[in-house]
Amino acid sequence: MTPEVVIRAECEDDFEAIGEVVRLAFRSHVEGRIVRDIRASDFYIPELALVAIADDQVVGHVMVSHTDLDSDGVRQQIAMLSPLAVHPGREREGIGGRLVREVVERADARGEPLIVLEGSPLYYPRFGFRPSVPEGIVINLPDWAPPEAAMMIPLRAYRPELRGTVVYPPAFDAATH
């Protein structure tokens, strides 16, 4: 029987466990540095950094933070989902999906107009994410990523005039954006 999973906002006591889950999920230290650097920045939205807890252990994490959208030199803040991590031993239990649905719902309740991400075009569309380029939102992807990896989801406060190029915050410098 699968234990109950509780989704809640992260707290400082979770940070070390989150770092370990992120490291294991990505098999890298880069994403953990991104999470840490976002927390230390003005782009951090504490109520949109969520953990999944099972058996009193962090088994998943998702973070939505602010980033800039540049439209001909005029910048405005939008929300960006990155990263999403589930402990490898807990994959395929729906934890990632629960985290995505919950963080999207909370971002919508906060009045965010949209969320952008770069991610699997096979995974995120089930939550309402769609290619961002047809919506006028350009995400400069790494060479290895397919163009469909640039995605967005419009929320209730979405305005079609929100167009431009996503400018990654300094926390993502470690990922070479």
CA dist., res. 159 & res. 104, Å (int): 17
* Maximum separation of any 2 CA atoms in the chain, in Å: 54
Contact 38, 63 (CB under 8 A): yes
CA dist., res. 117 & res. 145, Å (int): 12
- What is the percent of the chain with per-residue pLDDT over 90, rounded to a whole number? 91
Check pLDDT > 80 for residue 3: no
- Which domains, ranges and CATH numbers included, belong to the chain? 6-169 (3.40.630.30)
pLDDT in tens, 22-68: 999 999 999 999 999 999 999 999 999 999 999 999 999 999 999 99
Mean pLDDT in the chain?
Answer: 94
Check pLDDT > 50 for residue 177: no
Which pLDDT score, from 0 to 100, does residue 154 have? Answer: 98
Which pLDDT score, from 0 to 100, does residue 172 have? Answer: 86
- Decide which of 174 and 139 is more confident: 139
Mean pLDDT of 84-105: 97
Which pLDDT score, from 0 to 100, does residue 71 have? Answer: 95
CA dist., res. 157 & res. 109, Å (int): 9
- What is the percent of the chain with per-residue pLDDT over 70, rounded to a whole number? 96
CA dist., res. 80 & res. 98, Å (int): 17
